[in-house]
Amino acid sequence: MGIGPITIFDKSALQSLSMDESVWLDAFFLVNVVPVFYAETLADLEKEVAEGKSPEELVGMLAAKTPPNAVPNAHHRSLILAELTGWSVPMDGRVPIAGGDVMRGPQGAVGVHVDEFDEAVALDRWKNHEFLEIERQLARRWRADLADHDRDRTIGVLRNILPVDASMPDLAALKLAIDAFCASAERQAIRLALDLLGVPDRPTRDVLARWEAAGRPTLDAFAPYATHVFKVDLLYYLGVDRGFISGDRPSNKADMAYLYYLPSCMLFASGDKLHRRTAPLFLRPDQSFAEATAFKAALKELDDYYDRLQDEVKALGVMAFAHHPPAELDNLVVQLWDRHMRPDWRADAQTPQQLLERRRAAKQEGRGAAALRARVEAAQPVPEADRHLPDGKPDYMAVRRRVPVRKGKWRLLPEELEKVEDAGGSP
């Protein structure tokens, strides 16, 4: 599961899905869950909800819908500081993660092994309405931060970067002006960016020295990811100042934070009106924006399609019979695969019966779950000096995760994987 376009969703998009529809999000997309999603979800613990449902139940429901294949993106502040000290943040759709061990497999492939993401452990607790006190404190702090107490002061500083008489009819024009400012090699631009991004004084001095030593490149060339986050913040504050974005809705600042992570996906799915207006301004030409209503409808169509399968096929588990969306359908999910996956994915797409036969053959040839687990466990740590790959990418990534046997009406795991887990393994 989780082989497909790398996807970021906001809370509104996930909340709109039924539990059964969320199964197909998990099956056909590699989900990148960004830190602001966890913060927003936790914040619901301090929120008044509809009568008949407790805050704990609401958070538990969101946690249960979150795909178990999800990969948590490293926090944008950590990425900014890493980039400013010389580390290259991927801007091509790859997900930067925190942690993991570099290992070499028995056949020589070098990969990153992650025992289990802390975020995944937390989600498992949240499903059962189990919350640590520190998480409840974080929820209260997050809601307090939404007040954005320094907004007016920040706007007062930033409005001077644009000509007073500059014509700004809409957000698109404002974004072009912001792009032009960030293409500057002026010291003022980088100092302003470091200040708005909250870089402490000591690192700021080191960053400026590194910028000087590099020949004073433009801001967007010197630190592309930090500049991206800076542009998002500029659009928010200057958009509020120009009346394009409401300053009366505290959650708008949090909604804009999702855009910090756009470089780390192929697809952004959201039901938020502000996202519909702002996200396309930051997307690369090879990225897509999916409106939550259309995305939900496509997942519902997939759910209906697979619900018509014979019971004996369903009993195999979604992981066994749904490796590709049905090539004969023409809905948004299939269109997104056409746009973002290998051009020949349709040639590889197989019917549930063909996948069953392929799985049986793999098991006979020793390529089943137990064999895969054995190869992963046979990998050995790679010395620091040998960790640099020619293209900077690992050959594979192995992540230990907990996958429920069932989700909604669907069986997820093939029996062989369930048996491995029962025997003390982990699928």
pLDDT in tens, 212-238: 999 999 999 999 999 999 999 999 999
In this structure, the dihedral spanned by the alpha carbons of residues 242, 283, 34 and 389, taken in order and rounded to 10 degrees, is: -140
Q: Which helix (H) or strand (E) holds 9?
A: strand 6-9
In 3D, which of 257, 197, 237 has the Cα closest to residue 11?
257
Task: For the chain, give the mean pLDDT.
Answer: 83
Considering only CA atoms, which of 219, 213, 249, 216 is closest in space to residue 234?
219
- Percentage above 70 pLDDT, the chain: 75
More reliable by pLDDT, 336 or 58 = 336
What's the pLDDT score for residue 208? Answer: 96
What one-character-per-residue DSSP string does 155-188 give? HHHHGGGS-TT----SHHHHHHHHHHHHT---HH
The highest-confidence range among 26-35, 91-100, 247-256, by mean pLDDT, is: 26-35
Which of 35-44, 54-63, 223-232, 249-258 has the largest mean confidence? Answer: 223-232
CA distances to 247, 299, 398 from 26, in Å: 35, 10, 17
DSSP state of 6: E
Residues 68, 74, 78, CA angle at the centre, nearest 5°? Answer: 165
Q: Is 40 within 8 Å of 11 (Cβ atoms)?
A: yes
With cut-offs at 50, 70 and 90, classify the pLDDT of residue 49. low
Cα separation, 279 vs 393, in Å, equals 28
- 3-class DSSP assignment, residue 105: coil
**The pLDDT of residue 59 is above 70:** yes
* DSSP reduced 3-state for 314: helix
User: For position 53, what pLDDT does the model report?
Assistant: 72
Structure tokens at 189: 């631009």
Write out pLDDT tens, residues 88-143: 999 999 998 876 566 677 767 776 656 666 777 777 887 877 777 777 776 666 66
Pairing of the two strands 101-104 and 110-114: antiparallel
| Pick from 2, 4, 27: nearest CA to 408 | 27
**Tokens 């990534």 map to which residue?**
397
Closest to 8 (Cα-Cα) out of 256, 231, 236, 264: 264
Residue 71: both structure tokens together: 């990969």
Confidence of residue 407 (pLDDT cuts 50, 70, 90): very high
pLDDT per residue over 63-96, tens digit each?
A: 899 988 888 899 999 999 999 999 999 999 999 8
Is 426's pLDDT higher than 50? no
Distant-in-sequence contacts of 417-424, Cβ < 8 A, 24+ apart:
417/317, 417/319, 417/369, 420/369, 420/370, 420/373
E strands, 26-181, are: 30-33, 71-72, 101-104, 110-114
- Residue 238's nearest CA partner among 165, 180, 152 is 152
Q: Inform me whether the pLDDT recorded for 152 exceeds 90.
A: no
Instruction: Note whether 85 and 369 are within 8 A (CB).
Output: no
**Residue 292: per-residue pLDDT:** 97
pTM for the model: 0.85
* 366 has a pLDDT exceeding 50: no
Instruction: List the strands of the sheet with 71-72, edge to edge.
Output: 71-72, 30-33, 6-9, 267-270, 288-291
Confidence of residue 427 (pLDDT cuts 50, 70, 90): very low
355 confidence band (pLDDT: 50, 70, 90): low
**CA nearest to 231, candidates 278, 279, 179:** 179
Neighbours of 79 (CB within 10 A): 24
For the cut 60, the answer to whether the pLDDT of residue 28 exceeds it is yes
At 392, the pLDDT band (50, 70, 90 cuts) reads low
178-223, pLDDT tens digit by residue?
Answer: 999 999 899 999 999 999 999 999 999 999 999 999 999 999 999 9
Range picked from 102-111, 247-256, 370-379 for highest mean pLDDT: 247-256
Q: What is the DSSP letter of 75?
A: P
With 0-12 / 13-18 / 19 or more C-beta atoms within 10 angstroms meaning exposed / middle / buried, residue 426 is middle
Segment among 167-176, 220-229, 389-398 with least mean pLDDT: 389-398
Asked whether the beta carbons of 110 and 394 are under 8 A apart, the reply is yes
pLDDT band at 311 (very low <50, low <70, confident <90, very high): confident
